[in-house]
Amino acid sequence: MSLADLVNNNLKGFDPKKDNINGGGNGLPAGDYKVTISEAGHHVYDSGFDCLRFKFEVVEGEHTGESELMNVSFAETSSKGNPIPDFVLERNMKTVLTLGSLMKADLTPDMFLLGNETDIHRAIDEKIHGHIGVLVNMNITERPNKKDPSNPYKQYEFSETEQPEQIDVDDDSLPF
């Protein structure tokens, strides 16, 4: 992507007085994408937020080369001590099981019974670590965020897509 493309695609609406320079904006807009799972694993942010972090990179279409980050946590309480709603935890479980299935990783529902979110995140990380690079279809929908209208909630759906053909290269086939 050229500098002009970056300016046109990523700096529209950027307010240097208010916006975080390390953020990727709001990520991809609502839509359908063919993406590769370029990163996946356990991550703990400086704030202490413990999660599984997935990075998806678009491989074809108008947004090729752009990425979307998604964090999934199995903490049962927020940083303020409030309980996380059951529907959020259930959606997170279904999301991780779906991604694990698409990645051909051996994830099972009993992994969510390991006691605390860190143990759960680490166990899942061990299972998915070697399966990065898989192509999947990703659908993003948005719904309004009453507390912060400029930052809508995103919902994700993932499905299988055709994988590229493996090319075997050995030393004898290299030209040098």
The residue assigned the tokens 């964090």 is: 71
Tens digit of pLDDT for each residue in 52-69? 999 999 999 999 999 999
CA angle 30, 36, 42 (to 5 degrees): 95
Q: What is the pTM of this model?
A: 0.78
**Residue 165 neighbours by CB under 8 Å, 6+ apart:** none
Q: How far is CA 114 from CA 2, 122, 130, 163, in A?
A: 46, 10, 21, 33
List of the chain residues with pLDDT < 70: 1-26, 167, 169, 173-174, 176
Per-residue model confidence (pLDDT) at position 24: 47
CA dihedral sign, ordered 11, 13, 19, 25: negative
- pLDDT tens, position by position, 139-167: 999 999 898 887 889 999 999 998 887 76
β-pair partners for 138: 33, 158
> What are the Cα distances from residue 139, in Å, to 1, 8, 29, 87, 172?
23, 23, 10, 20, 42
